[in-house]
Amino acid sequence: MSYRFALLLLVMAGLVVAFAPLPVQPITPQERTFEIDAHQFAYSPSELHVNPGDTVTIQLVSTDVVHGLYVDGYDISVEADPGQSATLTFVADKPGSFRFRCKVTCGAMHPFMIGKLTVGTNDWLYRSIGFSLLAIFAFFRFPRVAKD
């Protein structure tokens, strides 16, 4: 296999890893409701799994100070006062993994008050691991580049 052909194959493999659709089972969208307890400096539950297309309702209940919940990627948020609850409803139309985090300064560890929302499967994680495998393959296939 010539150097150029191998390089072309590598680029094509990279494109496949990046963009090939992963197999998904068609699931009818549902309404999903989560009650999330927010306290310094954690959410409970802190990991949410929904399917693409689900209508997600989050009831944020703050048990100590004012807390917020901002969802990365969706750019939506809600705030709850101490002892109160607030509701956020959205359609989970973007698949992938997203952090949600407190948006109201709530104490020292506020910047690290973080949860995780996964919509469908975390495709990007699998694609990233695929890229890592390609990097190792590229290293072996192109020793001239690797050893220059």
Partner 1 sequence: MELTRLPFLKSALKNRYPQLAVFIVMLVGYIFAILAGLIGTPVGSHNFSIVFVWIAWWAILILVAVPFFGRGWCAVCPIPLPGEWLQRGAVLSPPDKRPKWLNLRVPKMFRNIWLQNIFFLMLALFSSVLLTTPNVTGIVLAAMLFAAIGLSIIFERRAFCRYLCPVGGFIGLYSQTAPIELRIKDKQVCVTCEGKPCYNGSQVGYGCSWDVFPGGMTKNTYCGLCMECIRTCPHDNIAVNLRPFSADVAKPTARLDEAFKAFIMFGAAMIYAGVLLGPWGTLKDAAYNVGTGAWFIYAAVFLAIIFIVLPGLFTLAIMTTKSKQALKQRFMSLSTALIPLGLMFWVAFSLSFVLTNASYILAALSDPLGLGWNLFGTANAAWRPMLTTILAPAQTLALVVGLFWSARTAQKVNEAGTSTIPVFVYCFVATSIMLWLLL
- Applying CB under 8 A, which residues contact partner 1? 41-44, 46-47, 70, 72-73, 75, 96-97, 99, 101, 103, 105, 108-116, 122, 124-125, 127-129, 131-136, 138-139, 146-147
- CB nearer to partner 1: pick between 51 and 98: 98
CA distance 89 to 32: 10
- CB nearer to partner 1: pick between 85 and 122: 122
Q: Tokens 């580049």 identify what position?
A: 145
- CB nearer to partner 1: pick between 80 and 113: 113
- CB nearer to partner 1: pick between 29 and 137: 137
Q: Give residue 9's Cα distance to chain centre.
A: 30
Question: Can you point out the beta strands (E) in the chain?
Answer: 31-39, 42-44, 47-50, 55-62, 67-71, 76-80, 85-91, 96-101, 114-119
Shortest Cβ distance from residue 140 to partner 1 (Å)? 9
Shortest Cβ distance from residue 75 to partner 1 (Å)? 8
Burial class (CB in 10 A: 0-12, 13-18, 19+), 62: buried
- CB nearer to partner 1: pick between 29 and 94: 94
Cβ pair 104, 80 in contact under 8 A: no
Shortest Cβ distance from residue 41 to partner 1 (Å)? 6
CA distance 104 to 67: 6
Shortest Cβ distance from residue 2 to partner 1 (Å)? 21
Shortest Cβ distance from residue 82 to partner 1 (Å)? 17
